Structure 1
Amino acid sequence: MHKYLFLLFCLISAPISPLCAQEYRVAIAVARIDNTIKKAPNGKYQLWKHPDSLLIDNADSIVFKNREWYYIRKDGRQGLYDRDGKVVIPIEYDRIEQLSGYLFLIEKDGKKGVFNTDGRKILDTIFDEIENKGYEWSDKARLYVRKNGKYGLCNERGEYLAQPIYNEIKGNFYKLELVKDDGTDYLLSFKHFVSDGITILHKFVLETDGIRSKDFYIFRKDTLCGLLDEEGKVFMKPQYTKLVCRDIGYRFGTTPWLIACKGNNYGTIDIYNNVILPFQYKSIRATSIVGCLAVETETGKRFYDYETKKFINDYTFDEYHTSDLYTAIKKDGKTTLISNDTKKMMFPYKYQDVFSQFHHPYFCVKLNNLYGLVDANDKIIIPIMYEDRLWITCGDKIVIKKDGKYGIINLKNELLYGMINHIIVAYNDFFDIYDSMKENTRLDADLNVIQEAKK
């Protein structure tokens, strides 16, 4: 083959005389004959490696797929050859299907097995079902097998990771739940088996130096929670009624904190079971505010800054709701905002509710069931006099409702459109006016009619 390719290269590179052209055509023909599928006079198919090397004769079909594999059917059986003419799977199976770039499913007499691309049978045809849960491009397989109604798990070498004794396999790549009649076993990272009547609740990762990491698993046995390391060994014996980690206190080279409950009292610990916050609080919750926990004390809920290891004592609250820049906190039915950055209260508890405005430094406030706009210093921007929430859109425009009628104002509270009896709905760059008696009207951001909007 190499001499023919060399001849072809030389002929293409040289000027083509009539004699050379003839030689050129011969070279092309020879190159194409290599691994050639031919149809014989009897209607059967042949696979030739060279013009004088017949690999397969009297085949019912030969199909070349993915520029790599010859699928051959003969006498009702199927086999597989590679593009070099090497036998990968002998012609003795009912069906062959590619599971991944490295594995093929085989089937014979209703039972399934697996070959790899090196031509080695890694699973005999003894299974009812085989499914590859690994990545198609990876040489690492995760083969779910079913035999006699039970499930098991094999790797790419055909070795059992879990014997086929389970009713169901659930979970993902780092934690598989292997369910059987008398309980659930766990397989961690497809390596480490865990049983002994425990339930794995959650995984978290400890980054040790920005490159390497260690996995830890929160588990429950009976009614108490503890920690397993990445090999499934007990790292912290079960002793807490609740254990939660959400990367609290996370930094490279530092120890994560966990929220723990002992009896009815909450505290925080590190993974070595050192107490950070004592067990004397009604509840502790992780928040979306960077560096803060919500801790419920006898006097109310407070934020605890676990970076400075201090409580924020400026205020207490009953409830909170966090957005990107601000957190609304509520106490005794009144609401205010704090800055997620500074953790400072922006104005006293005085409003029924407060809503942040996207991309604007203003807040819609509700007082006596009416709505207005204030800034971060609690200065009135739009008087608190309207019947629906106010949202800034189309630059500086706001849809309002007053006395049952609708209009559009600007940030100076100047009426730009209305008041009308029809509902006005604001979008990012247009308004729709809904009229049950005719086609709806659409206005652009400058309040010009741009079309008749469909109902």
Structure 2
Amino acid sequence: MNILSKNTHIQFLLILFCCCFSIAVTAQPFVADKYGYVKDTAFHKLIKERDYKIVGAFDSMYSNYVAQVYYMNEWRYIDNYGNLIAEIEEEDDYGDFYPEVREINIGDEGFDIVAVPPDEKGSSHRDNDEYEVVFVNGKSGTKHKKTGKIGLKPIYDIFTLYGNGLIGLRKDGKHGMAYSNGKVFIEPIHDEVIRIYSYGVYQNSAFRIKKEGKFGLVDSLGKVLFKTEYQMIANAYDCNTGKQQPLLVKKDDKWKLVSITNVQLAPGEYADIKPLIIGLIKFTYPNNKVGLLNCKGEVLLDSQDKITYDYYEGLITFEKNRLIGKMKPDGSIKVKQRFESIYDLGDGYTRVMQNGKYGLINKNEEFIVPPMYDGVDVIKSWGLIAVEERKTQPVLHSKHGLLDMKGKVVINVLYDALDKVSDSVLYFEKDNKFGLMGWDEKVIKYFEYDRVHRVGHFYTVSKNYREGIIDVDGNVLLPVKYDYVKDGYDFYRRGYCRVKLNRQYYLVDRYGNELKDERY
């Protein structure tokens, strides 16, 4: 009896092991196509058995494929075995993915700013200044660190420390400049003192002074460079050319570009002048014509109607008499001033307009596509040029075609819409017909629909006022039975979308599931 029971127990374990082994061997992950859809009918059966109301497209953004499902009144995730898994990221109530963002709480008091500790010599400025600041009866002064000799008498209200012994003074509301050893080179009698010029060390600084509404300039030795008689003196920023540092000065309502030694660098007097980009200065004449100078005062552009800098292209556009040219920041001309419109498409190609028509030129300004079209664009991913012609009969509409990168016709300009499906197949619209054709323009098949609209690599279609979704081969992915497909692109991207049928909104997926959307 005991032996029999023992043998029976062993047989049971063997059977259990074989069953488990069989399950382990046969339980393979489901495989999705490139759009995240699983064709395996076993998967279709599984989602019905597990009561997944909506199943989205599988996404390979994680180490294992995951898909969103609507289950038990909430959005969850399943793996490629069809099993529910833990939450991965937050999603909105429509199931959108959002990357995790963690807030850093710095507290009510914000960040602490830690002071730089003194060096071995006791200076907290690390500038080897032999003098230190002292305070006597609420006033600021300086004294020698070793000998105690007074530098600046303690008679000033506020110090501004620039380093290397340079100190901004404030006394009775007026401003001045001095050195910590006691040498005052700008008396504190000015409304404003600002350092506006330096090319390396403080000894080469210049200070703009303001008194009674007029500006002047003084160097770091106290020498007057510009008398206090100007309406404005400003740095020409990003124009550091050594001792010939340019300045923008205004006097008698006229601007000039001058050097730090008050030598006029540019030939004219201007109504306005301001930096455009690094190394280039835009000026305006009294008649509102504009020009461009470099930092040496050389005129690069003159008497233009408009000069602008395009940060996207990295080029300067100049326009005169409705003709446009393009210039590089180094001052060299990229495109001569002979076109009505110029747009850099990258990779050496530029779209231009001449006499109201568009063409394409290369970097040598040679025409690849003559200016004869109403639209020209380079489709880099196709290695082709798209062209457009506008027709006025019977109504205003556009026809599209394709050229190769040498300007040779590949697809004639006869189509209302074109879309590349593969290296051998094109989607086309022509004369209210939709279908697929080869690159030889021979029709492969027509789609029997009233309207077709591309959404990703799918198409929203309509027939007899009903809408659905098909793929590029014409296969029906979503039956053409709905009043309205609201989010066709979501169907391509997520695997499900919102539709309207008989005044009610639903969420639908590629597996035929429909879930009433109670929010609408």
Q: TM-score, normalised by structure 2?
A: 0.54
Give the aligned partner of residue 475 of structure 2.
Answer: 379
The aligned counterpart of 2:376 is: 285
5+ residue gaps, structure 2:
1-118, 200-204, 392-398, 421-425, 438-442
Aligned match of 1:173: 277
Once residues 427 and 272 of structure 2 are traced to their aligned partners in structure 1, the CA distance between those partners, rounded to angstroms, is 45
Q: In structure 2, which of residues 142, 146, 169 is the aligned counterpart of residue 72 of structure 1? A: 169
Inter-CA distance 58–400: structure 2 relative to 1 (3 Å threshold): same
What amino acid is aligned across from residue 476 of structure 2 in structure 1? I
Of 253, 258, 265, 1:149 maps to 253
2:192 pairs with 1:95: yes
Structure 1: which amino acid aligns with 2:150? L
Instruction: Provide the TM-score with structure 1 as the length reference.
Output: 0.60
Instruction: Sort the Cα spacing of 1:311 and 1:368 in 2 relative to 1 into closer, same or farther, 3 A.
Output: farther
1:64 Cα deviation (Å)? Answer: 3.9
Distance 2:265 2:427 in 1: 50
Rounded Cα–Cα distance in structure 2 between residues aligned with 1:84 and 1:317: 83
- Report if the CA contact (8 A) 1:47-1:57 is conserved: yes
Distance 1:180 1:390, change over 3 A: same
Amino acid at match of 2:253: G
Identity rate, percent: 19
CA 1:402–1:216: 2 relative to 1, 3 Å: closer
Residue pairs, 1:136-215, within 5 angstroms: 144-153=248-257, 160=264, 165-169=269-273, 172-173=276-277, 176-191=281-296, 192-194=298-300, 196-199=302-305
Q: 1:106 aligns with which of 201, 209, 227?
A: 209
Structure 1 pair 162/332, CA: closer, same or farther in 2 (3 Å)?
A: farther
Query: Do the aligned residues in 1 keep the contact of 2:241 with 2:295 (CA within 8 Å)?
Result: no
**2:151 aligned residue:** 55
What letter matches 2:285 in structure 1?
K
Task: State the alpha-carbon separation in 2 of the partners of residues 33 and 282 from structure 1.
Answer: 71
Whole-angstrom CA distance in 2 between matches of 1:321 and 1:142: 55
Gap change, CA 1:178 and 1:86, over 3 Å in 2: same
Deviation at 1:380, TM superposition (A): 1.3
Residue 305, structure 1, aligned to residue 378, structure 2: no
**Structure 2 contact 151–181 (Cα < 8 Å) conserved:** no
Shift of 1:315: 6.7
Alpha carbons 1:188, 1:230 under 8 Å: kept = no
Q: CA deviation at 1:148?
A: 3.1
One-letter identity of the residue aligned with 2:474: D
User: Which is strand-richer, 1 or 2?
Assistant: 1
2:510 pairs with 1:411: yes
**CA distance in structure 1 between the aligned counterparts of 2:417 and 2:182, rounded to whole angstroms:** 72
Q: Deviations over 1:190-226 (max 9, x none)?
A: 4542455334567799x9xxxxxxx976644435455
Specify the SS of the correspondent of 1:286.
Answer: strand
Give 1:378's aligned amino acid: G
Structure with greater contact order relative to length (CA < 8 Å, sep ≥ 6):
2
2:230 to 88, 112, 127: 127
**Equivalents in 2 of 1:385, 1:116: separation in Å?**
83
Are 1:204 and 1:247, in contact at CA under 8 Å, matched by a contact in 2?
no
Residues 77, 389 of structure 1: alpha-carbon distance in 2 compared, 3 angstrom cutoff: closer
Give a deviation string over 1:263-297, Cα, whole Å, max 9, x none: 45554444545343345x23343356455443245
Structure 1 vs Structure 2 CA RMSD: 5.1
How many angstroms does 1:182 deviate by?
2.3
> Residue 246 of structure 1: CA displacement?
0.7
Contact 2:141 2:156 (C-alpha < 8 Å) held by counterparts? no
Q: CA separation in 2, counterparts of 1:231 and 1:28?
A: 48
Q: Deviations over 1:389-424 (max 9, x none)?
A: 234379543222111111222221211x3265x41x
Give the partner amino acid of 1:244.
Answer: I
- The reply to whether residue 274 of structure 1 matches residue 379 of structure 2 is no
Cα shift readout 1:90-117 (whole Å, capped 9, x = no counterpart): 5453322355876654222322245577
Question: C-alpha separation between the residues in 1 aligned to 2:269 and 2:197?
Answer: 25
Question: How far apart are 1:382 and its partner, in Å?
Answer: 0.8
1:400 to 499, 504, 510: 499
Structure 1 letter corresponding to 2:229: I
Give the 3 Å change call, closer, same or farther, for CA 125–189 of structure 1 in structure 2. Answer: same
**SS class of match (2:277):** coil
* 1:36 and 2:132 aligned: yes
Preserved CA contact (<8 Å) 1:185 1:194: no
Residues in 1 aligned to 2:219 and 2:458: alpha-carbon distance in whole angstroms? 64
CA offset at residue 151 of structure 1?
3.8
